[in-house]
């Protein structure tokens, strides 16, 4: 048997994931889970039972009675006629055009308490600073501020510190990217290991020396190879407080594209490593390099018992405004928190960068003179042409005075007389010489300042927590609590611009192939963890722990660490060099293979009824997944199930705690497919063609789809046969619209194909819940009508392209610098359009030169039947300096407001600002975005992080891929030219609202509660194809769940 995993992360702190065996749906159960009657047999004695179920469903969902009657009539007609075609396949439409598939009347829905909806619609947090309001207030005019180019002149009175001396905390640090220009391993070998080796020696030379470190991935690698003497020396430095571990994550995570599941997972991995090996719990957060900051991060840090945090990359105009109002330190509160339970003390660095020239004060020309690594003779110099001077007795007074002036000016931007001065940069302190240069020279300056009472300053080396503790003490509050005069802020800090109109909104989409692969691996990880835990628990209970491969846990650890590594702010962002991206990809693929092995081993053990006969064979797996990737940059390939007259067994796993209804699609070698449940019920099967090209169908491979109801946290087994007697095999109908004349497509028995030339006549597909209209010429979506709503809503999909600026700065991996508004995508010939209609699903496929879009609807109850499954296969490898966008154009009167998620965790309102350039109005979309008015909400769920905007009322626009031929001068030194053929997957959901703006159906709150976590389910379902549902292999005689 073969497995294809599909995973989803559901709920606030619960990660319910679909793994290897089923196509998950958002729906959950709130009904009697008793077994159904045979799906193919509806005796008249049970019609009344079915009618009662339909009436209950009507009351619950306020569904249209006419549609329910239509479905009932279809079931009656099937019972009465039982018509079978000569080929043995039941046609999926009756003579009057109605569906004949007998659907189960028990829909599955996620039960949400009414109070949750009321909370979501209730009042928001009360804060002093709301970032949307700040954006509305600012002019973003970028006036030259003098020596502080993006700021203003800072003055002070010399006697301001007479009563309370200035406390200066200089915090040495080294920012180490776990992959960027070099791979993780090469960085470690070339530089990072030397930082640690020097650290254990140089910090021990003087107890006044301090240092901070954040990337546990590097630290763990060093620890594993260090001898006992070095480990003991490092442990002593940590216990004495000279070395502090800040944040404690496996990496310094990206905050735009990362999903909260992975953000938490890498944080746990780092914290568990620290606790196990050093007994350390981090107290302060340090994020100097992520390209913008999410409100999710302070929430997660707060829950990890971190009391204070620091951020750096914030729009320069916001920094200027916060500096002018002395709001650079604030309590960061979640938007839904009406009290203060989520408040996190946050320090925002005021200047351009975290390097030494931009941390001692407002004048980088002066601050650079105090970066003693740049002393004459060094390979690094000061761009301002004034080099540092070593501190001597002869110049210490003058040098201390100059430096103190910068310290005082910087301190004027804050509300306490405690000052933080980071001292470091990328991969600093890798040479013993730099340790001496920085520590010796600064200590001379500190000794001089501290020995002169008239200077009213106390300067010292410090850790980050030393600084925060001093602030709390000066303000008379406990750590992590709000000082009396400090502001409270809600919102986030996207999009980031470091200068001019250079907005870092391109990386929201850069390298989408790997953004998708990341979600696939996250899904597999969660599913593997669930199955492994279940299997080990069963093995222990059965006394078979010695036989079960508990060593598989190491594969879980390896996967967690590789997923964690990929959350680094130059990995999932798509902003590393090409060889580094390949290294990341190989790590992800290796872990994906390992997780499949964990899943296979666990499922093997669990499906065997008699555990005593269990044997583990490492070289000959009992089960096999039904998809595989041959290389790190290849799309998954599905495996053909070869049916015979003897049964093949299909094992499906439901990793969530509710019973599930899902559509399972397999590739089979026979058109005579029969599917039975464990108790012998024959299930209806939709037979569809497998297309090898836009106009050619396979004569040897077919798609077989059926609807399966799966037990909560359980494995279900289905029987598959090649059977000449398969009355429940329902063939689909296919129409091809082909440009030009003279082409005819011949279908293959038993799947006929109708063909016609392209014309303007619209195309329609329908289900029991939806009716979709498509353009007859483009094959793209034009309208949606819910069957419970008489109003047809315009929802038009358009494709467009952006170029880049013709001169000066251009778009690159980080920056989005378009050459103006998007232009409509065009090609010479009209696309080939394929329409497939069947009892379980209907779809329209439009084939273009650079993309292929499939829009599918499922004829099933619940959210899955109300949403559109959209897959867009993109290939722009022959384009230069082009970005492909998908735009949704609707009649929804959304104005200038739209909504995006933050890390799949919460929803953030956005506003289109005409005063900002186009690229400033794009935001990260890790899992979803929506627009709404008083009547409708349209939500786009995504399987991969992408950039999104709403550039006009009623529109949503997503950047699908970017191919850029040049660097954008942010250090990468490359363009984006390694594009892959990429499958972008979405779910589109149209919901009806009442005139008052409140939800009129329980379904709306069930599927899309505002500011809570349910939308994550739909978005992460997209991580896998609906075909990824199964384990395939010959089963033992008595397989069980």
Measured in whole angstroms, the distance separating CA 691 from the mean position of its chain's CA atoms is 31
183 vs 747, residue with greater confidence: 183
Selection from 366, 466, 447, 468 nearest residue 408 by Cα: 366
pLDDT at residue 285 in the model:
99
Q: What pLDDT, on a 0 to 100 scale, did the predictor assign at position 837?
A: 96
- pLDDT by residue (tens digit) across 249-265? 999 999 999 999 999 99
pLDDT of amino acid 63: 41
Strands (E), 828-954: 832-837, 841-847, 851-858, 867-874, 882-890, 897-902, 906-911, 923-925, 928-932, 936-942, 946-949
| Catalytic residue chosen out of the listed positions 265, 289, 355, 722 | 289
- Total-model pTM: 0.86
pLDDT exceeds cutoff 80 at 727: no
Mean pLDDT, rounded, for 859-884: 93
Whether the per-residue pLDDT at 1021 is higher than 60: the answer is no
Question: pLDDT tens across 692-717, in order?
Answer: 999 999 989 999 999 988 777 777 88
| pLDDT score recorded for residue 113 | 63
pLDDT of residue 1026: 29
Across 53-62, 117-126, 130-139, 796-805, least confident range: 53-62
The topology (CATH level 3) of 129-137+159-176+183-486 is 7-stranded beta/alpha barrel (3.20.110)
The mean pLDDT value for 452-476 works out to 98
Q: Give the C-alpha separation, 327 to 284, whole Å.
A: 19
**What is the chain's mean pLDDT, rounded?**
85
Tell me the torsion sign for CA atoms 912, 918, 924, 928: positive
Nearest CA to 603 out of 1036, 262, 16 is that of: 1036
Average pLDDT over residues 673-697: 92
Rounded CA-CA distance 931/892 in Å is 8
pLDDT, residue 115, reads 67
Residue 627: active-site member: no
Say yes or no to pLDDT of 1033 above 50: no
What is the per-residue pLDDT for 202?
A: 99
- Distance between CA 37 and CA 44 in Å, rounded? 13
Tell me what the mean pLDDT of segment 747-755 comes to. 83
pLDDT at 1029 over 70: no
Residue 1027 pLDDT? 30
> pLDDT band for position 645 (50/70/90)?
confident
| Amino acid 165: pLDDT | 98
Copy the structure tokens of residue 799: 């494709």
* Least reliable range by pLDDT among 15-29, 490-504, 956-970: 15-29
Asked if pLDDT for residue 5 goes beyond 70, the answer is no
Q: Which of 152-166, 230-244, 730-744 has the lowest mean pLDDT?
A: 730-744
pLDDT (mean) for 596-614: 86
pLDDT greater at residue 605 or residue 268? 268
Q: How many CB atoms lie within 10 A of CB 631?
A: 10
Contact 464, 244 (CB under 8 A): yes
Phi-psi region of 977 (alpha: psi -120 to 50; beta: other; left: phi over 0): alpha
Residue 357: both structure tokens together: 């020239």
Percent of the chain with pLDDT over 70: 83
* Best CA proximity match to 569, nearest among 251, 297, 347, 314: 251
Whether 125 has a pLDDT exceeding 80, the answer reads no
**Cα pseudo-dihedral 599, 605, 606, 611, rounded to 10:** -170
Tokens of 842: 């209907």
> According to the model, what pLDDT value does residue 120 have?
61
Distance CA 402, CA 382 (A): 17
pLDDT at 860: 85
pLDDT of 758 reads: 84
Looking at residue 105, the DSSP 8-state letter turns out to be S
Give the whole-angstrom CA distance, residue 522 versus residue 514: 12
**Strands 697-710 vs 882-890: parallel, antiparallel or unpaired:** unpaired
CA 438 – CA 431 distance, rounded (Å): 11
Does pLDDT of 150 surpass 90? Answer: yes
* 207 compared with 628, residue with greater pLDDT: 207
Q: pLDDT tens, 436-456?
A: 999 999 999 999 999 999 999
pLDDT tens-place string over residues 768-808 = 999 999 999 999 999 999 998 999 999 999 999 999 999 88
Three-state SS at 587: helix
Determine which of 188-197, 533-542, 868-877 has the lowest per-residue pLDDT on average.
533-542
Written as six digits, the tokens of 902 are 């933050």
The model's confidence at residue 112, banded by pLDDT at 50, 70 and 90, is low
- Can you give the pLDDT at residue 111? 55
Q: Domain spans of the chain?
A: 129-137+159-176+183-486
Q: Which two tokens stand for residue 809?
A: 């700065």
E strands, 241-312, where?
Answer: 243-245, 284-287, 308-311
């Amino acid at each position: 048997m073969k497995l294809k995993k599909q995973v989803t992360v559901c709920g606030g702190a619960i990660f319910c994931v679909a793994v290897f065996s089923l196509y998950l749906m958002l729906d959950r159960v709130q009904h009697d889970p008793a077994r159904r009657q045979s799906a193919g047999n509806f005796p008249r004695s049970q019609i009344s039972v079915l009618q009662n179920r339909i009436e209950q469903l009507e009351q619950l969902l306020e569904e249209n009675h006419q549609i329910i009657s239509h479905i009932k009539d279809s079931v009656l007609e099937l019972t009465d006629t039982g018509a079978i075609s000569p080929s043995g396949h039941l046609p999926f439409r009756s003579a009057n055009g109605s569906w004949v598939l007998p659907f189960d009347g028990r829909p599955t829905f996620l039960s949400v308490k009414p109070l949750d909806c009321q909370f979501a619609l209730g009042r928001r947090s009360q804060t002093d600073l709301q970032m949307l309001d700040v954006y509305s207030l600012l002019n973003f005019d970028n006036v030259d501020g003098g020596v502080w180019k993006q700021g203003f002149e800072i003055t002070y009175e010399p006697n301001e510190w007479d009563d309370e001396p200035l406390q200066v905390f200089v915090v040495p640090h080294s920012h180490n990217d776990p992959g960027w220009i070099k791979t993780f391993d090469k960085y470690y070998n070339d530089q990072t290991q030397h930082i640690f080796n020097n650290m254990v020696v140089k910090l021990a030379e003087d107890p006044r020396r301090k240092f901070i470190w954040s990337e546990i991935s590097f630290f763990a690698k060093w620890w594993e190879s260090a001898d006992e003497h070095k480990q003991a020396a490092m442990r002593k430095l940590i216990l004495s407080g000279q070395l502090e571990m800040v944040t404690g994550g496996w990496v310094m995570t990206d905050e735009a594209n990362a999903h909260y599941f992975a953000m938490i997972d890498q944080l746990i991995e780092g914290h568990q490593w620290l606790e196990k090996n050093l007994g350390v719990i981090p107290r302060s957060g340090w994020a100097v390099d992520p390209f913008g900051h999410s409100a999710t991060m302070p929430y997660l840090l707060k829950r990890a018992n971190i009391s204070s945090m620091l951020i750096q990359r914030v729009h320069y105009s916001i920094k200027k405004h916060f500096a002018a109002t002395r709001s650079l330190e604030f309590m960061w509160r979640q938007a839904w928190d009406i009290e203060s339970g989520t408040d996190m003390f946050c320090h925002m660095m005021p200047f351009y960068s975290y390097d030494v020239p931009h941390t001692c004060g407002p004048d980088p020309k002066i601050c650079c003179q105090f970066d003693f690594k740049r002393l004459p003779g060094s390979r690094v110099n000061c761009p301002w042409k004034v080099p540092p001077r070593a501190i001597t007795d002869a110049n210490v007074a003058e040098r201390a005075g100059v430096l103190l002036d910068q310290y005082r000016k910087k301190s004027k931007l804050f509300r306490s007389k405690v000052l933080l001065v980071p001292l470091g940069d990328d991969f600093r302190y890798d040479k013993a010489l730099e340790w001496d240069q920085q520590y010796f020279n600064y200590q001379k300056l500190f000794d001089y300042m501290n020995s002169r009472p008239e200077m009213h300053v106390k300067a010292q080396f410090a850790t980050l927590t030393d600084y925060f503790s001093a602030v709390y003490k000066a303000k008379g509050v406990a750590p992590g609590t709000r000082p009396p005069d400090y502001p409270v802020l809600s919102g986030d800090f996207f999009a980031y611009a470091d200068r001019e109109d250079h907005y870092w909104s391109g990386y929201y989409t850069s390298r989408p192939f790997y953004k998708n692969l990341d979600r696939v691996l996250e899904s597999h990880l969660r599913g593997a963890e669930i199955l492994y835990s279940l299997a080990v628990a069963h093995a222990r209970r059965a006394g078979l722990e010695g036989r079960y491969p508990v060593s598989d846990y190491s594969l879980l650890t390896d996967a967690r660490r590789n997923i964690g590594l990929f959350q680094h702010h130059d990995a999932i962002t798509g902003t590393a060099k090409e060889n580094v991206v390949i290294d990341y990809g190989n790590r992800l693929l290796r872990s994906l293979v390992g997780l499949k092995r964990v899943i296979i081993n666990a499922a093997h053990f669990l499906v065997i009824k008699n555990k005593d006969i269990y044997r583990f064979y490492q070289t000959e797996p009992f089960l096999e997944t039904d998809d595989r990737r041959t290389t790190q940059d290849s799309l998954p390939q599905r495996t053909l199930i070869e049916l015979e007259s003897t049964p093949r067994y299909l094992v499906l796993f439901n990793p969530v705690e509710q019973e599930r209804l899902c559509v399972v699609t397999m590739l089979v070698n026979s058109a005579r497919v029969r599917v039975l449940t464990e108790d012998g019920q024959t299930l209806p099967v939709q037979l569809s063609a497998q297309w090898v090209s836009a106009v050619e169908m396979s004569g040897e491979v077919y798609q077989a789809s059926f609807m399966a109801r799966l037990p909560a946290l359980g494995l279900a087994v289905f029987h598959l046969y090649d059977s000449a007697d398969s009355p429940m095999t329902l063939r689909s109908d296919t129409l091809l619209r082909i440009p030009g004349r003279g082409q005819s497509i011949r279908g293959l028995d038993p799947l006929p194909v109708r063909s016609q030339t392209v014309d303007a006549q619209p195309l329609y597909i329908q289900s029991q819940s939806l009716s979709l209209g498509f353009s007859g010429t483009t094959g793209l979506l034009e309208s949606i009508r819910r069957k419970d709503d008489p109003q047809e809503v315009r929802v038009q999909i358009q494709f467009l392209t952006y170029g880049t600026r013709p001169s000066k700065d251009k778009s690159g991996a980080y920056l989005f610098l378009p050459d103006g508004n998007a232009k409509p995508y065009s090609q010479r010939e009209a696309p080939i359009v394929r329409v497939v209609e069947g009892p379980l699903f209907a779809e329209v496929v439009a084939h273009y030169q650079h993309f292929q879009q499939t829009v599918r609807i499922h004829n099933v109850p619940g959210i899955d039947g109300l949403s559109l499954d959209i897959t867009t296969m993109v290939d722009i490898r022959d384009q230069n300096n082009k970005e492909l966008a998908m735009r949704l154009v609707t009649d929804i009167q959304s104005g200038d407001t739209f909504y995006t998620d933050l890390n799949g965790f919460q929803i953030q309102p956005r506003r289109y600002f005409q005063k900002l350039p186009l690229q400033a109005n794009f935001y990260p979309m890790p899992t979803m975005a929506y627009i709404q008015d008083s009547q409708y909400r349209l939500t786009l769920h995504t399987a991969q992080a992408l950039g999104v905007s709403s550039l006009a009322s009623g529109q949503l626009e997503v950047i699908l891929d970017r191919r850029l031929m040049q660097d954008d001068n942010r250090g990468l030194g490359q363009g984006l030219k390694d594009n892959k053929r990429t499958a972008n997957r979405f779910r589109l959901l149209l919901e009806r609202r009442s005139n008052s703006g409140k939800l009129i159906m329980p379904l709306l709150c069930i599927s899309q509660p505002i500011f809570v976590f349910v939308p994550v389910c739909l978005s992460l379902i997209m991580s896998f194809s609906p075909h990824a549902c199964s384990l395939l292999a010959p089963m033992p005689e008595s397989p069980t769940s």
